[in-house]
Chain A
Amino acid sequence: DARVTQTPRHKVTEMGQEVTMRCQPILGHNTVFWYRQTMMQGLELLAYFRNRAPLDDSGMPKDRFSAEMPDATLATLKIQPSEPRDSAVYFCASGLASISASQYFGPGTRLTVL
């Protein structure tokens, strides 16, 4: 049963610390998405990769957030320095070909920045 995996599932950190979240997309999927979900804003697209190249990262605060795909089996989202307003659930999703194709979500990383 192929699934997207995310680590860690929970992260509590202090303001100013660096946070790295990892995602393993489903094998064979060539698109990877990073989302942030909060009660107030709902699900927000932060970044979108196809074949490991960033296609759209306009939703991501560039001064502190960065997203990379070192290889086809790993996507990372880094926040440095973290701030309390970054507290949210961060989801990774993977899919095939285009943004309109089915997206398969991981279980999320719940981040709390104190």
Chain B
Amino acid sequence: TQLLEQSPQFLSIQEGENLTVYCNSSSVFSSLQWYRQEPGEGPVLLVTVVTGGEVKKLKRLTFQFGDARKDSSLHITAAQPGDTGLYLCAGVDAGNNRKLIWGLGTSLAVNP
């Protein structure tokens, strides 16, 4: 069974701190997406990375795709309470472009 492992599973930090969450697999992905989900809502796409080694920035969020396209990280600088939510990664299996594999998510709480 192909898996996308996300770590840590839970993270509680103070406003202003930096953090990094990870998304790892033994599989190669043709692309990988990061979503944020708030309670009672559906996930919202933050970014898609496609090229190995690619880095994308979205304000205080920095996303990196691993060189081998098997892993990704999300770094948040100076976290704010509005960053609170469940962060999900989802990868498109390079061997089967019809298959999207989801991680279980990292639940982030940023306390004021």
- The chain A residues found within 8 Å of chain B, CB to CB, are 4, 41-45, 48, 55-56, 91, 93, 98-100, 102-108
* Known contacts A100-B30, A100-B92, A107-B40: A45-B100 contact under CB 8 Å: yes
> Mind listing 14 A-B residue pairs with CB under 8 Å?
A4-B42, A43-B43, A43-B105, A45-B100, A55-B98, A56-B99, A98-B97, A100-B31, A100-B33, A102-B33, A103-B33, A105-B43, A107-B41, A108-B41
* Known contacts A99-B92, A100-B97, A102-B48: A93-B42 contact under CB 8 Å: yes
- The chain B residues found within 8 Å of chain A, CB to CB, are 30-31, 33, 40-45, 48, 88, 90, 92, 97-100, 102-105
Residues of A within 8 A of B40 (CB): 107-108
Contact present for A42 and B104 (CB under 8 Å): yes
Return A37 CB to nearest CB of chain B, in Å.
9
Residues of B within 8 A of A98 (CB): 97
Contact present for B98 and A42 (CB under 8 Å): no
Contact present for B102 and A43 (CB under 8 Å): yes
* Known contacts A43-B88, A99-B92: A106-B42 contact under CB 8 Å: yes
Instruction: Give 3 nearest A-B pairs by CB, closest first.
Output: A105-B42, A42-B104, A43-B102
Return A40 CB to nearest CB of chain B, in Å.
9
* Known contacts A98-B97, A100-B92: A42-B42 contact under CB 8 Å: no
If A107-B40, A108-B41, A108-B42 are given as contacts, then 20 extra A-B residue pairs at C-beta distance below 8 Å, sorted by A number, are A41-B104, A42-B102, A42-B104, A43-B43, A43-B88, A43-B90, A43-B102, A45-B102, A48-B98, A55-B98, A56-B98, A99-B99, A100-B30, A100-B31, A102-B45, A103-B45, A105-B43, A105-B44, A107-B41, A108-B40
